[in-house]
Amino acid sequence: MADTDVGNVNAKEKRSPKRLILLIGAIAVVAAAVLLNAQNSSIFGFTGKICNCRKAEKQKYIGMVEDCCCDYETVNKLNTEVLHPLLQDLVKTPFYRYFKVKLWCDCPFWPDDGMCRLRDCSVCECPESEFPEPFKKALSKDNPVCQEGKPQGAVDRTVDTRAFTGWTVTDNPWTSDDETDNGEMTYVNLLLNPERYTGYIGPSARRIWDAIYSENCPKYASEQSCQEEKILYKLVSGLHSSITVHIASDYLLDEAKNVWGQNLTLLYDRVLRYPDRVRNLYFTFLFVLRAVTKAENYLVEAEYETGKDNVIEDLKTKSLMKQLVSDPKTRAACPLPFDEAKLWKGQRGPELKQQIQKQFRNISAIMDCVGCEKCRLWGKLQILGLGTALKILFTVNGEDNLRHNLELQRNEVIALMNLLNRLSESVRFVHEMSPVAERIAGDGKTKPNHNRT
């Protein structure tokens, strides 16, 4: 028995070199297979590392939105799943599709010599047949015709301040428009006048933004700027980015053939290659969203009547508004988009608020200098919407006081919700089209942060 064991041991020892060679060969084959698989995966983008890198590249903006209480991923998810669909339906309702505006104004700062070169600059005003009865009074004798050659009907240039029960006319300390000047006001159907490329370019258009930034917005890059001044700049920059995004998303590609489409090169050159502009867009979106959610009780309780023929639509408007401001997903994921309580502190607080109010009123007044009628329409609406957000967040202190002391004009609410929709559209377009635009127009490099003029 012992001899047999010794023989077996000797036999195993004789076979060990062969086993060792086979084992080394097997390891070499496995190693080669792993290496080949890694190479193939790298080529086709299937490795975990490559996928993560690509995901990170796709999700270029991660983490918290600066000065806000919500991160980029959450904002994009909420906007796609909740906010954008609701807002798209809301702005199409009779209450929100009409905006009261003074289109013909003298520029208080310089002669209005800006002329746009496209017929799309013209605003087609509301035909009488579609205008809600509660909005109406006697029509003007004028019967203007849109520059596009399509008769859009006579325009009601008067204002019925009692169109909605419980809605008051009150001054907004953040804006300059006097909406009580009934004789010069016009109702415009926003659905017939989309914000898009109009051909308003050149020195006249540049002068508008130059005046806004150089004369009224503190230099964002300056370390001496306080938090409140930086926020004013970021709001204007975010609005500027949103306007540019809408121009790029609905651009006249061929004027001779009247072909419209997306201009992703413009989107990249004017917005995407400057990270601050994208960040400021998200900031402005969350800032306005905070104002809307803060005014939840007021907006839910408001009347949205537009006439006996629109009862179902008006009920839908009220329902959509309640869904928007009370959505549980938004409350859970982003309960406080922006914390306004941290501003206007210290001894300089009241003085600083007056200073920035004056600067924003100047920006509001500059809208009267816009040489393109349709650009002026959307500029006035969005500045009024932003001014309304500022009014909600900073004019009334505390949630309890807000419910009892907040007073909004119908036009302010219309501007506020249309602005939120514009920003929502811009955030969605940037989120979805950034990878494509950067592949088409980008060179992998971005411009450093800088002041915008």
209 a known binding residue? yes
pLDDT at 243 over 90: yes
- Better pLDDT: 175 or 234: 234
3-state helix, strand, coil in the chain (%, to 5): 60, 5, 35
Q: Quick one: tokens of 258?
A: 């009247």
- Better pLDDT: 193 or 156: 193
What average pLDDT score do residues 180-197 get?
77
292-319 burial: b if 16+ Cβ within 10 Å, else e: bbbbbebbeebebbbbeebeebbebbbe
Residue 64 DSSP symbol: B
pLDDT at 169 over 60: no
CB atoms near residue 322 (< 10 Å)? 14
> Which pLDDT belongs to residue 17?
55
The SS3 assignment for 251 reads strand
pLDDT at 424 over 50: yes
What average pLDDT score do residues 74-78 get?
96
pLDDT at 9 over 70: no
Q: Give 197-217 pLDDT, tens digit per residue.
A: 888 877 878 888 888 888 777
pLDDT at 30 over 50: no
Through-space distance between the first and last CA atoms of the chain, rounded to whole angstroms: 98
What's the one-letter identity of residue 126?
Answer: C
pLDDT at 228 over 90: no
What average pLDDT score do residues 157-165 get?
33
Q: Which of 387, 334, 288 is nearest to 87 (CA)?
A: 288
pTM over the 0.85 mark = no
pLDDT tier for residue 348 given thresholds of 50, 70 and 90: confident
198 a known binding residue? yes
117 a known binding residue? no
CB contact at 8 A, 169 and 180: yes
> Which pLDDT belongs to residue 87?
98
What average pLDDT score do residues 329-354 get?
86
- Better pLDDT: 222 or 76: 76
Q: What angle is formed at CA 350 by the lines to CA 179 and CA 213, rounded to 5 degrees?
A: 60
pLDDT at 45 over 60: no
Measured distance CA(417)–CA(420) in Å, rounded: 5
Q: Give 381-399 pLDDT, tens digit per residue.
A: 999 999 999 999 987 655 5
pLDDT tier for residue 291 given thresholds of 50, 70 and 90: very high
Q: Give 392-423 pLDDT, tens digit per residue.
A: 998 765 555 555 578 888 889 999 999 999 99
> Which pLDDT belongs to residue 394?
87
Q: What is the mean pLDDT of the chain?
A: 75
CB contact at 8 A, 224 and 439: no
**Three-state SS string across 194-237, please?**
CCCCCCCCCHHHHHHHHHHHHHHCCCCCCCCCCHHHHHHHHHHH
User: Which residues lie closer than 8 Å to 278 by C-beta, 6 or more apart?
Assistant: 61, 241, 271, 272, 430
CA dihedral 299, 100, 429, 286 (to 10 degrees): -40
Residue 273 DSSP symbol: T
Residues designated as active site: 372, 375
CB atoms near residue 229 (< 10 Å)? 19
> Which pLDDT belongs to residue 414?
94
Phi then psi for residue 411, to 5 deg, are -65, -35
Of the given ranges (17-21, 268-272, 442-446), which has the lowest mean pLDDT?
A: 17-21
- Better pLDDT: 327 or 103: 327
- Better pLDDT: 27 or 438: 438
Q: Quick one: tokens of 132?
A: 């809600």
> Which pLDDT belongs to residue 35?
45
What average pLDDT score do residues 323-344 get?
90
Phi then psi for residue 409, to 5 deg, are -80, 155
pLDDT tier for residue 226 given thresholds of 50, 70 and 90: confident
